[in-house]
Each structure stands twice: as C-alpha cells, then as structure tokens.
Amino acid sequence: MVAFTLKSAGLVVIESTNGQEALAKLSTGRVDLIITDLNMPVMDGLTFIRQARGKPNLRFTPILMLTTESQESRKMEGKAAGATGWIVKPFQPEQLLKVIQKVMPA
Amino acid sequence: MNIDISAFQQAFFDEAADLIADFETNLLSLEDHPDSEELLNTIFRCAHSIKGGSATFGFPAIAKFTHSLETLLDQVRDHKVILTPELTALLFEALDQVRQLFAVAKGEAADAADDADLIRRLESAAVGGVAAAVPAKAKPDEGWGVWSVAKRYRMHIAPGADVLRKGADPMLLLSGLADEADILSIRCDESRLPTLEALDPETCYLAWDLELVSDREPGALLEAFDFIAEESEITIVEIEAEAQAPTAVEAASGPRSSGEQTVAVAKPEAATLRVSADKLDRLINLVGEMVINQSMLSEATQNFTTAKLPRLLEAVASMERASRELQERAMAIRLVPIRQAFARFPRLVRDFAASSGKQIELKTSGDETELDRTMIEAIADPLMHLVRNSMDHGLETTEERIAAGKPAEGSLWLRALQEGGNIIIEVADDGRGLDRDRILKKARERGLLAGDAPEPSNDTIYAYIFEPGFSTAAEVTDISGRGVGMDIVRRSLQAVNGAIGLTTTPGQGTCIRIRLPLTMAILEGLSLSVGNEVYVVALTSIVESIQPRSQDVHLLSGRDEVVSVRGEVLPLVRLHAIFGSEPNVTDPSQGLLVILENDGRKAALLVDELIGQSQVVIKSIEANHRKVDGIAGATILGDGRVALILDVSQLLRMNAGLTASAA
C-alpha cells in the first residue's frame, strides 16, 4: 500500500521485506527517503533505524516509521533511535504524501 | 568572522520577548487611539527589529513571517491602508503567531501552526483588503509527526593563501566536516591556480563549494574551521526547502479540532537576568569600598595594640555599613518591576471582553513596584486565576449592570504597592461581590460548618472560598469555576511566604489582597533558643511573646496542653518535643511562650529564651539534604553556628495532626 501510493506519486521505490534486507540494498548509493515498519521479521524497525544511522551514506537520510496507535512509547524509542518522523497505520494516501513532502529534500 | 551565534541567541530571545511585549502594549493602546502616529511607529519598529534579529540569528521562519507583518505595518503607517477593527484583530493574531514561532525556536514547542494562510492574509491586507481566514489550516492531523529533518547547506570555503605555511591542512578540515555532515557534492575552484612556473607550493590557491546535509546548526559546522577562520573566507547558507505547494485534497479523515494549538511544555526560562548597567556600577563601587575596608581592617589588626582599638572599631563600623549596603544592592539586582507580571493582562481582558460581550476596563497602578524575580514568576498563575475569576464571576453582564444602575462598563483594578517589608497586590472589581448566603449554604453542604452551628462572622464565611474544592459557580465556564481555584491560589502564594485575603461588598465589588515578602532570600526573623539549639521564626508570623503564669496552663482531656492568654485558649506547642531536642526549661511558667499565627490558626510555642531580632539569609536544606518537616531552611548565625528556620504554617499543621492522632 505504501509502495503503491509512492509509485502513484511518481517516486521510484525500492522494497525490502525486513531490516536486514533493506540494509543490504542500501549499503551503497543514496536514497531520498526511507519508510520502515516497526514490526518486521529478522530485523525489527528500531534496530534497522539504529543501524542505518551508523552508515555514512544513511546518516542524514529522512527515516519515517510506521507505527500503530498502541505504540505510543515506541514512538519515543524510534525518535531516540534516530527516526525523522512517524505516521500511524492505517493512514490515508494523502496523509502519507503530506508527511513525505515535509521531510523529503526539495 | 567565525562566531558561534548560538551564544547570542539567548540574548536575542530576551530582547525579542521585550519587543513582543512592547508590540502588544502599543497595539492595545492603538485600539483606543487609532490615529496615533507614535504608537504605529513604535509597533513598526518592534516588528522591524524582530525581523532583523531573527534573520541575523538564523531563524528564517520568524524572519519570513515578520517580514509580511512589517510590510503591512509600513502600509498602515503610510496611510495606504486604514486601520480597522478587523485589521487590529489580524495584527493580534499575527502577534500570537510570532510568539508561537519563538516558542518553537527556543525549543519549547514542537511545531507552530502553519502560517501560510496568515501570511497570505497579511499580504492581502497590505494591498488593501482583509481576507477571510481559511477555516481549515494545513495543520497536521493527529496521525503523523516529524521530529527533525536534517538541513541542507551550501558552503563556500576559500582558505587564506597562508594557511599551509601555518600548518593547517584544508583536506584534514574537510574530512573533519564530513564527520559532522553528509557531503552531497563538492566542487573545487581552481581559478586562482597560477601557471606551474609561478606556483608557490606553500601557498593555498584552491577553494571549494560544497552542498551538504546535516542535523547540525550552521555555527557547529563552521567550528571545524575555527583554526583558519581569520584569514579565510568561509560562508554557509541554509538551502530552504522549496515552499510546499498545498496539497490539492485536504485529508478527509477527522475534522480538525478547534483550538488545537501546539502546547508549549512548561519549561523554566533560561535563568539569565538583564540588569541595568547603573545597578551594576553601584554594586562594583561598593565592592571597591569593601576592599578598602578590608585593608583598613588588616592594617588595624597588624601588630595590634590597645592604642589601635578606636581605629579597629571604626574600620569594623565602616565594613558593616558597606556590607549592609552591598547586601541591599545585590538583592536589588534580583528585583524587577511588577509591570512584567501585569503586562499580560490588558490582552487577556481585551480578549475576554470580546468573547463574553462584557465591557471591562482594566486599570493598573503601581506598575513600577519592584519585586523579586522568582516571586514575579510565582505569582503569575495565581494572578491570572484571580483576574479571570473577577471577570467571569465578579463582573456582571452589561444588561445586569445597567439594571442595577451601575455604569455599563465594569472596572477591574490591578494595584501594586509596597507596605513596609511587604508588597501588596490587589485585584479588585466593581462587580456583584461574593454571594454570602450561597457560600454559607455550600459550606454547610460540604461539612465545613456543622449544619446546626450558628452563623460565623462574615470574614470566616468569605474565607471558605479558599477551602479545597470549594466553588459556588452555578455553571462551569470555559474561564473558571472548576472548583480547583482559590485553594490552589492560596497554596501557591503560601509557597512563597505570601498570604491572601479579601474584602467584598454585595453589589459593589470584591477586592482580593495578596501580601508578599519583598524577597525570598532574606528573612526578618526572631532567634530563639531551646537547649543548645537556636531556631529562627519569621517575624511576620509572631504575634507576641509572653511568660505565662502556671495557673494559665491547662491539660485538656488529660493530654493536650493549652494555655489561656487573656481569655483566648491556644494549643501549647513544645518545640523540643517536636524536634526531640534537650531543653533547659520544661515548665512553661519558667520559659517563654511565643504566640504564632498563620492562616488564622494560632498556637503558643514554648522556648527557653528569646535571643534577638535579625535579618537572616535563608539557605535551602532541601537542596542540600532533603525536606525536613516543620523546617523552612537554615541560616548561619553571626558566631558561625547553624540555626534552623521554622516553617510556621507546617509546624502548626503538624501540631494539629500530632494532637489529633494522639487523641
């Protein structure tokens, strides 16, 4: 759903199924934005964010995390891990685009 | 050129706070005097200074907003735009936004409301029309949020020609920069590079243009180049994200709750204090005198002979004079005019009057009365509460006032004055006064007064409104009347050794009187001794001291000691029993009784003897040890001993509890 919205908005999207896979795909090169869920197999979202922040090419890349309503405390953990912002699932496509507009480099 | 501007930001915030306050004060006056050029000019200057400062100190959002505000004000000043009530309202709205932006800049608020619409309205007002507010502002819905986005910078680094000879290596500095920021692009400017024959290998000819992303402030990034800053040309500019085009479709989910504002987390103001140079000069003069006195003293005590005694005494006397004055002057530094606490009320009253339809005139007096800074902060909320109460419950509606034969416009007074060592603040209105019967009824309902008890005096009845959870408001309004009012006001005033009282006349108004000590750091106290210990009691809570006859001391129900003083029966409190010290005197008729009063509660404190009256400097025990019940602090006596300062109100409560649990 996220990928679909982004592609419809004309963005190029690289998808991964877990944090480990994402880190491997992002090991070189640059992206403008990373969106990650918190609940993922193999490597969860928080670990992923922390590890991404340790990579020179991902240090300042905006990272949005997807949370659920019940994860208020994890929002703060996400902030501490280095996330740029958050969006609560489920969301409207417009909301996603709005927050992306806010964090993506012009 | 390489200065870390963040060090100056606090000073800018302080100045901006003053400018914003000036802006508001003058805008309020402008409502009454719309033709005043002077007021307009002052307002314009405030906006102009805020804009200039915020641009200099790196707050582009504030600069951008105040720019459109300034443009509008300029048009008004030039009579190209007429000042209408709608325009004034718009200016107030803009002012609130400026405040909000500063709260964000200071890190007190997470995010300010989107001001694109407000800017649009300011701009359209500047060309002659007041545009209607767009109801739905593009404020984020609850559903997502952004903490911080790394900023993009464009940086130009042109090291001076001599940096290599000085041992600096630009490459090393650039890689240092790479630790702090992500370098997106870098371009080497070789234009200064001469031909190979002319090339001096020890001269630096190169310059770089970089684009980088970092979450650091520009000043922090420049720090990497401190070493070569002087002779080099280094600039850094933030690349602002392009103006976000508003999304065509407003998110359909959930209406935006009205009044949703970013709530600033209550964070104490950075503890800087601006002191007039004049006050500081006098202080430094006095320090100079102290130094002279000190050398007089050491001269007089060197090879001391009795012949030198007069000179020694003279030196001590002059030292005493200087130190007393030094103390006074030093305290005066902490004093600020109460104007600062009063300044927020004209706006509050204006807004309340507008929303309630009541006509209210606020009159303040004694604005110049000076009060300790911490005290000003401590009374801000209680004062706010009292003023709201007066407007909401005290003052009647215009129709009611006319029906009662009063002027349509209600009056609200804020008065401050100094009375001896105290500051008096009065909040008065000419409204309906307190409803004595309703308070009485409520007091009986709540069991504060036994149902069949005879009616107490009026003063006692009115004092009930200070009881916890006591509210007579028929309906709870937005403004006040939630029943958590006056007791909190009283408690927060007591926390700074203040007291509150009131007088009221039905149909004519109410006057609430707050009494505050001049300062919290110095206490006018009476020292008393129990055994080897010395205690200090604030003079303000002492009524008198007596030596009782043994027949005046009685035992109630076999255990509670009371003493009758001229017909009044007071509980007898043995200080040594409370603090477990060893007294010299256990028989009340051999010792002294100090009659204490606080909150209308009285007690007789048994001590060995009185030592004397003195000003003592309060040192906190809580900050160094922990809170001790019944003790407000400690002080150091002239002979170097430590004396405890009694917390009278707590002591009386403790005693009441002690006897209650013993009974």
Name every residue whose Cβ is closer than 8 Å to that of residue B602 and which is 6 or more positions away in sequence.
B543, B568, B570, B595, B596
- Render B260-276 in DSSP notation, one character per residue: --PPPP--PPP------
Tokens of residue B224, six digits: 């990497």
- The token duo for B525 is 């106290």
Angular region, B509: left φ>0, alpha ψ -120 to 50, beta rest: left
- DSSP helix, strand, coil percent of chain B (3-state; round to 5): 40, 25, 35
Chain-chain contact of A103 with B251 (C-beta, under 8 angstroms): no
Chain A residues with beta carbon closer than 8 angstroms to that of B140: 98-99
The rounded distance, in Å, linking the Cα atoms of B5 and B222 is 11
- Judged by CB atoms closer than 8 Å, whether chains meet at B247 and A97 is answered as yes
- For B251, which of A86, A94, A103 is closest by C-beta distance? A94
Cβ(B295)–Cβ(B318) under 8 Å? no
Partners of B416 in beta bridges: B425
- Distance (Å, rounded) from C-alpha B215 to C-alpha B202? 35
Residue-level pLDDT at B137 = 36
Cα–Cα distance for residue pair B137/B135, rounded to 1 Å: 6
Cβ atoms B602, B595 nearer than 8 A: yes
Contact status, residue A18 vs residue A42, Cβ threshold 8 Å: yes
DSSP B392-431: IIISPPHHHHHHTT--SSEEEEEEEEEETTEEEEEEEE-S
Q: Which residues of B262-297 are buried (b: 16+ CB within 10 A; e: fewer)?
A: eebeeeeeeeeeeeeeeeeebbeebeebbeebeebb
Can you spell out the DSSP letters for chain A?
A: -HHHHHHHTT------SSHHHHHHHTSSS--S-EEEES--SSS-HHHHHHHHHTSGGGTTS-EEEEEETT-HHHHHHHHHHT--EEEEES--HHHHHHHHHHHS--
Chosen for mutation from B137, B141, B142, B144 (greatest number of chain A CBs closer than 10 Å) is: B144
- Mutation target vs B (from A94, A97, A100, A104; most B CBs, 10 A cutoff): A94
pLDDT tens per residue, range B268-290:
444 566 777 888 888 888 888 88
| Amino acid, single-letter form, for residue B120 | R
Measured between beta carbons, the chain A residues lying within 8 angstroms of B149 are: 62, 84-85, 102-103
pLDDT at B269: 42
The alpha helices in B78-206, defined as continuous H runs, are 85-105, 116-126, 170-180
Asked if B635 and B537 touch (Cβ cutoff 8 Å), the reply is no
- CA R_g for chain A: 13
Give me the phi and psi of B159, to 5 degrees please.
-65, 150
Indicate the average pLDDT of chain B. Answer: 78
| Per-residue model confidence (pLDDT) at position A70 | 62
CB distance A99–B147 less than 8 Å? no
Q: How far apart are CA B539 and CA B544, in angstroms?
A: 10
Do the beta carbons of residue B541 and residue B648 sit within 8 Å?
yes
CA atoms within 13 A on the CB side of B396: 20
Neighbours of B102 (CB within 10 A): 22
Which of B111, B139, B146 should be substituted to probe chain A, the one whose Cβ sees the most A Cβ atoms within 10 Å? B146
Residue of chain B with shortest Cα separation from A94: B251
Asked if B249's CB is within 8 angstroms of A98's CB, the reply is no
How far out from the chain centre does Cα B547 lie?
Answer: 45
Residues of A in contact with B249 (CB under 8 A): 94
Across chain A, which distance is largest between two alpha carbons, in Å?
Answer: 35
Partners of B236 in the beta sheet? B155
CA distance B60 to B240: 9
- Report whether B16 contacts B57 (CB < 8 A): no
Over range A40-66, report the average pLDDT: 85
Residues in B lying within 8 Å of A, measured between beta carbons: 140-150, 152, 181-182, 213-215, 239, 241-242, 244, 247, 249-253
Categorise residue B634: left if φ over 0, alpha if ψ from -120 to 50, beta otherwise.
Answer: beta
Indicate yes or no: pTM above 0.95.
no
CA B459 remoteness from chain centre: 32
In whole angstroms, what is the distance from residue B274 CA to residue B277 CA? 9
Distance CA B95, CA B57 (A): 20
Mutation site for A-interface testing, chosen from B142, B147, B177, B239 by largest number of A Cβ within 10 Å? B147
Query: For chain A, what is the mean pLDDT?
Result: 81
Q: Tell me the shortest Cα–Cα distance from A94 to chain B, in angstroms.
A: 6
Kindly state the tokens that stand for B109: 């608020």
Chain A residues within 8 A of B241 when measuring between CB atoms: 105-106
- Residue in this structure with the two tokens 């890349």, named with its chain if needed: A61
Q: Does A63 touch chain B (CB under 8 A)?
A: no
d(CA B428, CA B263): 31
CB atoms within 10 A of CB B609: 13
Distances (CA, A) of B9 to B59, B473, B657: 10, 46, 51
**Cis peptide, bond prior to residue A90, ω within 30 of zero:** yes
Task: Tell me the β-bridge partners of B524.
Answer: B615
What six digits make up the tokens of A65? 């995390």
Contact at CB, A103 and B149, closer than 8 angstroms: yes
**CA B214 to CA B154: how far, in whole Å?**
11
Query: Angle B85-105/B6-32 helices, nearest 10 degrees?
Result: 160
In this structure, what DSSP letter does residue B585 have? -
Residue A94 and residue B247: Cβ atoms within 8 Å?
yes
Residues A1-19, mean pLDDT to the nearest whole number: 81
CA B296 to chain centre: 42
CA distance B246 to chain A (A): 9
Which residue do the tokens 């035992």 mark? Answer: B555
Residues B241, A59: C-beta atoms closer than 8 Å:
no
Q: Give the gap in angstroms from C-alpha A16 to the nearest C-alpha of chain B.
A: 22
DSSP letters, B231-293, are TSEEEEEEEPPPPPPPPSSPP-SSPPPTT--PPPP--PPP------HHHHHHHHHHHHHHHHH
Q: Do B149 and A57 touch (CB under 8 A)?
A: no
DSSP state of B540: G
The answer to whether the Cβ–Cβ distance between B149 and A62 falls below 8 Å is yes
Rounded-to-integer distance, Cα B119 and Cα B351, Å: 22
Query: How confident is chain B (663 residues) per 10-residue block, as mean pLDDT?
Result: 62 84 86 82 88 80 86 83 82 87 78 76 73 41 70 84 81 80 82 82 85 79 78 79 35 33 35 74 87 87 85 87 83 81 87 87 89 82 87 88 90 87 87 84 78 77 78 46 65 80 88 82 83 87 86 80 86 84 84 82 87 81 78 82 85 67 43
Residue B520 and residue B535 in contact, taking contact as beta carbons nearer than 8 Å: no
Cβ distance of B251 and A95 shorter than 8 Å: yes
- Tell me whether A59 touches chain B (CB under 8 Å): yes
Q: Which of residues 85-104 of A touch B (CB under 8 A)?
A: 85-88, 91-92, 94-99, 101-103
